[in-house]
Amino acid sequence: MIEEEILTIDEVAKFLRVSERTVYDWAQKGEIPSGKIGTAWRFKKSEIEQWVNSRLSGLRKTGHTSVQVESIISPDRILFLKDTAKLEALTALAENLATTPQVKNRQELIERIIQREELMSTAIGRGIAIPHVRLSSVTDLVVSVGISKTDIADFQSLDDEPVRLLFMIAAAYNQHAYYLQTLSFFSARLKNKELRSSLLNTQSAEEVYKLLVKV
């Protein structure tokens, strides 16, 4: 019975015991399995149940150890940014990601990254931003890293600190759990002040890569 398997925003909100606005924001950001029929968001109940299970148990079982940095980052996806504005920095990283075989639609990636940033800043504090998106035109999760030698002041960070380190994540639409785990991994890893300082003092992409893959 197909009708019973498709949920509205209101039904998902009641199921998850959160507000409709929260569900809407998650859908807009690609953070919950969803799709649009016309202009209305719709959700498959089975996918929502799997999403809840992965959120409640996945990271607790595996921690951050299942994210293999060497498989999602390479030296050619590490950039030293000279731009001092957010838009230019995001575009440079998206252009870099678009050269990878995992990204099939360059323009869509750039547009969605910028749209995501306009919706809500991805600057998480401590000089770090983690712009991220899930797209059907991406075949596997991939990351591009930006090291800025100058402050990027227009990111509207949570702590008002200018951004210097950027980790851009693009994932396939069906990689929701791994996508969230990767976001969590970098958010936790970059809390290390010594690591942040070391990254900012690097002179080559190879140095950055070695610091990031180091256990």
pTM exceeding the 0.85 threshold for the entire prediction: no
- Can you point out the beta strands (E) in the chain? 6-7, 35-37, 40-44, 78-81, 123-125, 128-129, 132-135, 142-152, 163-172
Same domain, 101 and 157: yes
| Residue of higher predicted confidence among 181 and 204 | 204
For residues 134 and 49, membership in a common domain is answered with no
Dump pLDDT digits (tens) for 101-155.
999 999 999 999 999 888 888 898 899 999 999 998 999 899 999 999 899 988 8
Residues 36 and 54 in one domain: yes
Q: Which of 86, 132, 164, 176 is catalytic?
A: 132
Q: What is the pLDDT of residue 62?
A: 42
Residues 142 and 205 in one domain: yes
Model confidence at 186: pLDDT above 50: yes
Whether residues 91 and 141 share a domain: the answer is: yes
Is-contact 44 37, C-beta < 8 A? no
Same domain, 203 and 104: yes
Question: Looking at the predicted structure, is the pLDDT value of residue 64 above 50?
Answer: no
Same domain, residue pair 6 and 107: no
Domains in the chain: how many in total? 2
Q: Which residue has the tokens 């953070």?
A: 31
Beta-carbon count within 10 A of 153 CB: 14
80 and 180 together in one domain:
yes
pLDDT at 215: 56
What CATH number did the domain enclosing 125 receive? 3.40.930.10
Same-domain status, 9 and 96: no
Whether 132 is catalytic: yes
- Pair 45, 91 in one domain: no
Backbone angles phi, psi at 61, to 5 degrees: -80, -40
Residue 170, beta-bridge partner list: 133, 142
pLDDT at 160 (0 to 100): 85
**Is 201 in the same domain as 110?**
yes
Q: Are residues 115 and 195 in the same domain?
A: yes
Range of the domain at 33: 2-62
Can you give the CATH number for the domain in which 23 is found?
3.90.105
